[in-house]
Amino acid sequence: MNSSTSLRIVHCFRAPVGGIFRHVRDLIDAQVKAGHKVGIVCDASTGGEFEEALLAAMRNKLELGLQRIAMQRQIGPGDAVAAARTYKIIKTMRPDVLHGHGAKGGTYARLFGTALRLSGSRVARFYSPHGGSLHFDPATTQGRIIFRVERFLERMTDRIIFVSGFEQGVYTRKVGEPRCGYSLIYNGLTDAEFEPIVPNADAADFLFIGEMRALKGPDIFIGALAEASMARGHALTAVIVGDGTDRAALIEQARIAGITASIRFLMPMKARDAFRLTKVVVIPSRAEALPYIVLEALAAGKPVIATRVGGIPEILGDNSPALVQPDISDLAARMVSVIDDVGVFRRSLPDLQSLRAKFSVANMAGQLEAAYLAALGRN
């Protein structure tokens, strides 16, 4: 790649966990392979041993460096200090593209990218919401303020990247039709992730994998497991993989429901390792943009039950029998019917060929690179 198309790209986001972190890691692998120089700025206080190992494995790829500072989830007194430090760090990285992910990363990227422009640098300012601020209710005071800020920041945005048609629609309803450039670019998987995974001989019936917080619905999963076990007349088994602020409360919920012996709580691990532990993957989220875990499970040949939220129907199909409401009873009923004949249920899910055509890392990274170059006038 010649110097006119090789870019200095900095990804800015808050928490190195979950789908955003997975998305950024995939982009970085593709961007480094394409000859770009890449760096990361993210929170220093989020993530455990699993995430630290992933970050450590990335360091040698990051020619512009890996910089971590304390970033609060909510706006607070520490934001001014964190923002000033973040700006200084990004300035030393001399990015051509500053790509913010999530609400906090998107705010920093656009504000600091604009500041760099005012100081004479030519920086393309990109923003991927990944749900983020779009989860707020526009009927509340907090929601109205947040969406006004989003509208204001469009003036400092070269392009918004939506990961699902649902996310784009929510933005339009809550913020308005974007007054800057925007694109829909689906998340993608690597070729290796389309290799099927066979469950272990002692695999549990169901798996939840993700952050242990209300938005992801682990409490719905536990409640549904208890109800489904009661309906079947014997204990169904489950594995819960993840960590988060609600972990202790979820363990207590399982104890009160009398199903502690049926659930194993494990710390974060790679999704494909977790898939070996189960027959069926359950995604009980209350809200999503376009979750990687649904794509990963389907690509690995795992049957999936998921809530009808966000961009999930764009993956499974709007009329898929895999879709349920984020409700304990609805999920429990589907879990009972699926576990009775997993093979038949699997055949109702999208085939690997159609998934690969629509959701590949190569497509995702290629479309984004074209958008970067266009914003910089290099296409």
Q: What are phi and psi of 213, to 5 degrees?
A: -145, 160
pLDDT tens digit string along 26-42? 999 999 999 999 999 99
DSSP assignment string, 147-214: HHHHHHHGGG-SEEEESSHHHHHHHHHHT-S-SSEEEE----B-GGGGS--PPPTT-EEEEEES--SG
Which residue segments constitute the domains of the chain, with CATH numbers given? Answer: 8-188+360-375 (3.40.50.2000), 192-358 (3.40.50.2000)
Calculate the average pLDDT of the chain. Answer: 94
Whether the per-residue pLDDT at 278 is higher than 50: the answer is yes
Q: What is the Cα–Cα distance from 249 to 73, expressed in whole angstroms?
A: 21
Confidence of residue 4 (pLDDT cuts 50, 70, 90): low
Is pLDDT larger for residue 305 or for residue 15? 305
Ranges 154-158, 221-225, 285-289: which has the least confidence:
285-289
Confidence of residue 1 (pLDDT cuts 50, 70, 90): very low
Burial class (CB in 10 A: 0-12, 13-18, 19+), 346: middle
Tokens coding 144: 């109205």
Confidence of residue 132 (pLDDT cuts 50, 70, 90): confident
pLDDT tens digit string along 202-255? 999 999 999 999 999 999 999 999 999 999 999 999 999 999 999 999 999 999
Element holding 225 (H helix, E strand): helix 218-232
Q: In the chain, what percentage of residues exceed pLDDT 90?
A: 89
Is pLDDT larger for residue 1 or for residue 140? 140
Give the residue-averaged pLDDT of 71-89: 77
Q: In the chain, what percentage of residues exceed pLDDT 70?
A: 97
Confidence of residue 107 (pLDDT cuts 50, 70, 90): very high
pLDDT tens digit string along 309-366? 999 999 999 999 999 999 999 999 999 999 999 999 999 999 999 999 899 999 999 9
304 and 280 Cβ atoms separated by less than 8 Å: yes
Tokens coding 1: 């790649």
The model scores a pTM over 0.75: yes
DSSP assignment string, 254-305: HHHHT-GGGEEEE----HHHHHTTEEEEEE--S--SS-HHHHHHHHTT--EE
Give the residue-averaged pLDDT of 284-293: 93
Give the residue-averaged pLDDT of 144-156: 96
- Evaluate the CA torsion angle 49, 55, 56, 57 in order and state its sign: positive
pLDDT tens digit string along 58-67? 999 999 999 9
Tokens coding 147: 């969406």
